[in-house]
Amino acid sequence: MTACWLWLRFGSWSWNAAAKWWTVYGTLVDVGCLALMAAYTHKEGIRLRDLVGRVRLRWGRDLFLGAGILLLVFPFFGLAPLAASRLVWGTIQPQLYPGLLAGRALPLWGVIYSFSVWWLIWSPTEEMTYQGYALPRLEVLFRSQWKAVAVVGFWWALQHCFIPLILDWKYIAWRFLAFLPGVVVFALLYLRMRRLSPFIVAHWPMDIYAALLTLQH
């Protein structure tokens, strides 16, 4: 959809030109996920809000829990990309598609949107989709936490290969390996707590950091 919009706007077709807009078009992904989950939870007789569970803000409890979760998972998200880079490209400092994945240049409104709206919606939707909705139901279907974690971890990591989508198998393999350890740890921690709000709190800074790191300074 973004590539088509750019084609209509500027008169030239470029699939890669759409890649840098992922912190804008990502909200369309969120809307689709939320709409589907709302429909399915309605059939189950529960609300979409029920996927989040109880929120405990008194004395900043969920804020502190979120900070603790962030400290636990951040090393996995920080070190795994280096290991994946070495494995896929043979170096820990590969050229990360300047202008597409790193050093993205967006108009001012796109930058403002990325830092004000995108992350506020993206983090809760991602957590609700994989942890609040998919993980508990797969756990019941498989009668196994490890099988549920494996399936959720696979698809959660694979998602990051397509947002943004750059048609290069090395990039796809690198993104998958870079995110797999972190999302598996996220899922294992969630199975211990069974409440989503601390994980949303932990996820927000990572998405803000991702936008800050990849946008052109």
Q: What tokens appear for 82 in the block? A: 């280096």
DSSP letters spanning 36-100: HHHHHHHHTT--GGGGT-----GGGHHHHHHHHHHHHHHHHHHHHHHHHHHHHHSSSS----BTT
The answer, yes or no, to whether residue 14 has pLDDT greater than 80, is: no
pLDDT tens string 158-194:
999 999 989 899 999 999 999 999 999 999 999 999 9
Does residue 2 lie within any of the structural domains? no
Give Cα separations from 84 to 110, 124, 169, 171 (angstroms).
30, 27, 13, 10
Is residue 38 assigned to a domain?
yes
> According to the model, what pLDDT value does residue 12 have?
73
Instruction: Supply the mean pLDDT for the chain.
Output: 93
In a domain, 118, yes or no: yes
Question: Is 5 among the domain residues?
Answer: no
Could you tell me which residues come within 8 angstroms of residue 77 by beta carbon, excluding any fewer than 6 positions away?
178, 179, 181, 182, 206
198 in a domain, yes or no?
A: yes
> Strands, DSSP E only, in 69-197?
none
The total number of structural domains that make up the chain:
1
Non-local CB neighbours of 38 within 8 Å, separated by 6+ positions: 48
Domain carrying residue 53:
20-214
Place 87 in a pLDDT band, splitting at 50, 70 and 90.
very high
The answer to the question of residue 9 being in a domain is no
**Other beta carbons less than 10 A from residue 53's beta carbon:** 14
Q: How far is 27 from 33, CA to CA, in rounded Å?
A: 10
Per the listing, tokens 């309605």 go with 42
